[in-house]
A = this chain, B = another copy of it.
Amino acid sequence: MKLITKQTDYAIRALGCIAKSKDAIITVCGLAESLDMPQSFLRKILQRLNTKGILKSSKGKGGGFVLNINPAKISVLQLVEIFQGEFKLSEHVFKGKICPVIKTCYFKNRLDKIEKDVKKQLQLITIKKITKQDDLQRKK
């Protein structure tokens, strides 16, 4: 079971690089190379981040991507929700129908608490904090 899928992981690392490049325009081509990610896949990811307002893109020759918002405002939770949908640890359903005891169920309550905690933790991890470590964009 994975909390973070590859797409999200790529997005995080890509944003780390872009954040470090301070206003320089980054192209998919260059980034894919330096991070050793499949180019078309990365492209799709950056496009998504663009439509979500996290990156800003410019087309045409000399175009590419730059950050559109403060890296301190980009949380891993946000990225997870963009690429993996709403954060839900368990539906806890009864074969399609919502479980009848869902209000009082101990198990469900525990899971909800875990979910809340994890969500909070993920919200605290931001691109800024990650890039501070000065580790991400090294190749090999």
Contact = CB atoms under 8 A, between A and B. Distances in A.
A40 interface: no
A106 to B, nearest CB: 4
A92 B1 contact: no
Given A9-B90, A94-B36, A105 B3 contact: no
B90 A106 contact: no
B111 A4 contact: yes
Interface stretch (A43-51, A55-63, A66-74, A116-124): A116-124
Contacts of A80: 1
Secondary structure type dominating chain A contacts: loop
B101 A135 contact: yes
Contacts of A94: 36
- In the A-B complex, the 8 residue pairs with the smallest Cβ-Cβ separation, listed nearest first, are A3-B89, A101-B135, A4-B90, A106-B133, A107-B130, A114-B121, A110-B125, A36-B95
Given A1-B85, A4-B92, A106-B125, 18 more contacts: A1-B1, A1-B2, A1-B3, A1-B84, A2-B88, A2-B90, A9-B92, A12-B107, A36-B94, A37-B95, A101-B133, A101-B136, A105-B133, A106-B129, A106-B132, A106-B135, A110-B121, A117-B118
